[in-house]
Structure 1
Amino acid sequence: MPTIPFNSSSPKINSKAHSSRLEAVLNTVIDGIITINNRGDIQSFNPSAERIFGYAPEEVIGKNVKMLMPEPYHKEHDGYLQNYFNTGDKQVIGKGREVEAQRKNGTIFSMELGVNEMSIAGETMFVGTIRDISDRKAAEQALMENQAKLQAIVDNTVDGLITINEVGKIEHYNKACEGIFGFTFAEVVGKNVKMLMPEPYHKEHDGYLQNYHNSGTKKIIGIGREVKGKRKNGTCFPLDLSVSEIHIHGRKLYSGIVRDISERKKSEDRIEQANAELEEFSYRTSHDLRSPLVSSIRLLDIVQEAIENNEKDHALMGIGRIQKSLNQLEELVKDILTLTLTKNEKEDYEAVNVDTVINDSLNKLKHMENYERLSIQLVPQFEQSLITKKNRFVLIVENLLSNAIKYQDVSNDSSFVKVTIYSQENKFILTVSDNGLGIPKSLQKQLFQMFKRFHPKTSFGSGLGLYMMKKSVDVLGGRIEFDDMDNLSTFKVTLPQSLE
């Protein structure tokens, strides 16, 4: 930067008047103005500089300007001046920059400093213009902190927040969205938001935006509704979406709040299914309980009449039919009680010996009709204990075995039931196969529904066994499958082997 010549003998300028005007200007400007000589000693210190630093002029005039600087500027200042005089290398002269300064009371503050070089009567001097920017810096810091807090709030909300521009390009996408959709911010920013939508929303989205811009007709803006979203892995899921229109610096943006409602929908489906099952249960139990009672009452009239007519054989036949009806009623009541207990029972996990459960169940079922004609084959390949809820597991085993015994094909001279247990990939697997009557393919979709009886003429059943078994498998975190091939029916139960 060129030096500023100062010629006090100029005939065109009244020196005294000029000096007065210059002093008035220096005394009234908002910025602090300090002049130093080539040794760094302060030569002048205007009123604004007094206000900024807290020093009176007599406290600083003649002293090194580094007294107004904190470290590291304090110790480096003299070296900087000497380097400039030796090399002519200007680092701050002619440039403005932000530095730190120190007031009389020791506080450090931010200031903008502009330094220029001038020559007066052949002597090199420097004039510094100073502006206290501590208030501005504090405001900037407060703004940054507020922005950081706002960002933290947005990033840590449970709901996803997406902002798009007028053409549907994503501009903001918070951390909750990353968890919901599986895409990172870097993968979606600048891309059309329809990438997060399955069909038909995907192909309709741009047209909806264009229609809104053309007509002003709002279909979802300002209104919450349930839509489908699409994750990075391609799966679709239900979500609640509410969209707001916002205007920032003349730009129109759309802010969408999304909430994954997959679990809520599952809960609603479970409640709906439970209500349907309850309704079915109420109807069927009242019907199935009433039917054998009505039948028995009518048979009692027939038996009474046979006794009065001394028809002993006829009376005994009627009593036998009454016994059969009441036995069916007892079995139904027993299954209903079991179902009620399993729904309400709170049971802890424990180590269960699977071989013991299977053998105890077979001993319990030996009284069943035609048990003795079956070939029971046990193929145990699981030696350790199973960590599970014992009562639930016993119910599963007993139902599988009793069904295989009950629905055997008595016309087959080689009827068998094969039980296999083994471990695979930390899963416990139990299979029960038999060559009995099987289940018609047309009815297999109803396999685990309540009150479904597949061979009512062969043997009486409440129709609750398979339903209770499936519910117990679900409670234990497993799955049950049925396969019917080559006249062989197989139930396969897969359970977690432990709690890990």
Structure 2
Amino acid sequence: MENAALLKAIIDNAIDGIITIDGRGLVESINPAACKLFLYTPGEVIGRNISMLMPQPYKSQHDEYIARYQHTREPHIIGIGREVTGLRKDGTTFPFRLGVSEVSYAERKIFTGFIHDLSREKEAEEQLRDYAAHLEELVESRTSSLKDTVIALQQAKEEVSSSLEKEKELGQLKSRFVSMASHEFRTPLSAVQLSASLIEKYAQPYDNENIRKHVAKIKGSVGILTGILNDFLSLEKLEAGKVEATCTPFDLVRFSEEITEELQLVAKQNQSIIYQHTGTASVVALDQNLLRHSVTNLIANAIKYSGENTFIEFCTEIGPSGCVITIRDNGIGIPEADQKHLFEAFFRAHNTGNIPGTGLGLNIVARYVGLMNGQVIFKSNVNQGTLFTMTFPTT
């Protein structure tokens, strides 16, 4: 008797609804939580068919569900049961997760249904979907506006350039223009990046794939625009004579392995960056910041202009004559007619299509390599790939 009283107390105080029915679908018991969910009293439910708590099409199919369960004999476990809809006394419906198990009692079998209300979870999911959609529209609008502004700035720069007669005056005007525009855009871009990171953090408990997808799209767009601004700022500093090489000894192999690991994370599907070092020496005396920017730019270009399921070869060698760094890809290559202009500022090959870029990256690489007394050359064929080689003398 004591055990029976304890069991009844547990059922009566359970948070989830519990209903038992016989093999014909007639309700034998219902706990207070289930009564609260369906807005019925026990007397209004017990003895009646369970279909009274089901909206269509569940009402007409409930016998089929019972027959299916009796045939498979596979109980539905709470937490992984199917989601269904319940019908309240006032005619409203609500979602819940249903777990069903078979219980042998007094030489007969009854079925116990465990009902977990999903109303709050569904409302939260709907709010998150609405918020994510609104956020995507907002960020796309602002990102589009920023892109349009960058394009307008570029067009304005070209119009101003064509009207100037002296190259020195053009350089000074461009330097001031780029510096001002780049700094003005950093604040809103930083705000968008921070907001995207916070949204990603706060949405983690909901494990929503749509939110992760949209946040990644936001971060990707911000990354592209940030890269554009960084290129403009780097060019401005170079032309203003503010960049100097500070060469100090460091481990080239460890340096290269770190870059390989970082860029492998942003490579395309099944794209592999293969790094190899030749020789026993591993220490060089170069400017790590300038070299990191140069190597990263060349490998990033190899990723961008190569397809999926390809290899990118990254090799370093230290010998008696100096240090040699090569990056080889199997991408779209560079048309022969464009190769003589490749290191010019704002120049892009004609086969790049809609692939984003500023046309500044290789110009900056060549100038950074030059500041370290090095040289960069390349070999390329259309649709066969490109090989960039940076050489630095031994100091």
- The TM-score with structure 1 as length reference comes to 0.35
Between structure 1 and structure 2, the one with the greater Rg is 1
Higher relative contact order (CA 8 A, sep 6+): 2
Q: Please identify which structure carries the higher helix content.
A: 2
